[in-house]
Structures are given as structure tokens and as C-alpha cells.
Amino acid sequence: MSNNSRTGRDDKGRFLTGNTGGGRPKGSRNKLGEAFVQALADDFSEHGVVAVERVRQSDPSTYLKIIGNTLPREVLQLALSVNANIDFADVEEAKNYLAAYRRVRDHRDEASIIDLNPEAETAWRIDDDD
């Protein structure tokens, strides 16, 4: 396999390793891209805030698409990330409490759910006269 240093390709047409002669430098824009970005920046300078407010009010889904397409992915992930610390023992306790509440609520018109002796019932009765 012979190298052709003039084209920067090998005999099969593949770029040679370490080819530094082709393409634009990393991060550079072509003239059309630069013109577009400049026109967009000029338009935004003149109408930007009002236009953004109008889109936000009239079409919230488009507004969110613009945000999603404009901001870097890392910023969106940071803004939308949720950090939740859940103690599953508390969840179980809450489920049990909810089940007990629903049982009492569903049977409140029935006879007493808990059979208390007369002394205990008197001790637990709430006095409404206070």
C-alpha cells in the first residue's frame, strides 16, 4: 500500500492517519453560516424579547422547542433533573396510614369498628362542650 501525500489518501481512497491538510479548522463556520448567525443576532437585537414573549403566550409548545433546541443539552439536563431521596419505610407507613384512613372513612356510618368496653369508650370520647 503506497501513500499519496499530495491527496492525503491511500491507494483505497481513505484519508491517511494524521491528515491535517483537509477541511475547515475545528469550530470555524462557513460564510453562509456566519451570515445567518449575524442576521439572526441582528433580528433578535431588534425584536427578540417581544417575539419571544409573543411565542411563549401564543404557542407554549413552540416556545419550549426553541429552548430545547437553543440551550446545550447539559444545561437542559441540569435544569430538568430531579434529585429525590425517598425513605421506603416512610412510603410503607404512608400507605398503611392511607389504608386505615380509607377503612374508617368507608365504614364511618356502620356500627363501631373497634369494640371498646364502656369505660374505654368514655375515656376516648371527645367532649364537644369545651
Domain boundaries, the chain: 28-83, 88-124
| Angstrom distance (rounded) from CA 70 to CA 90 | 41
CB 8 within 8 A of CB 19: yes
* Residue entry with cell 384512613: 101
Question: How does pLDDT run across 93-129, given as a tens digit for each residue?
Answer: 888 888 888 887 787 666 555 666 777 666 666 554 5
Question: How does pLDDT run across 66-95, given as a tens digit for each residue?
Answer: 888 887 777 777 777 777 777 777 888 888
pTM above 0.95, yes or no: no
| Beta carbons within 8 Å of 68's beta carbon, 6+ residues apart | 76
CB 58 within 8 A of CB 51: no
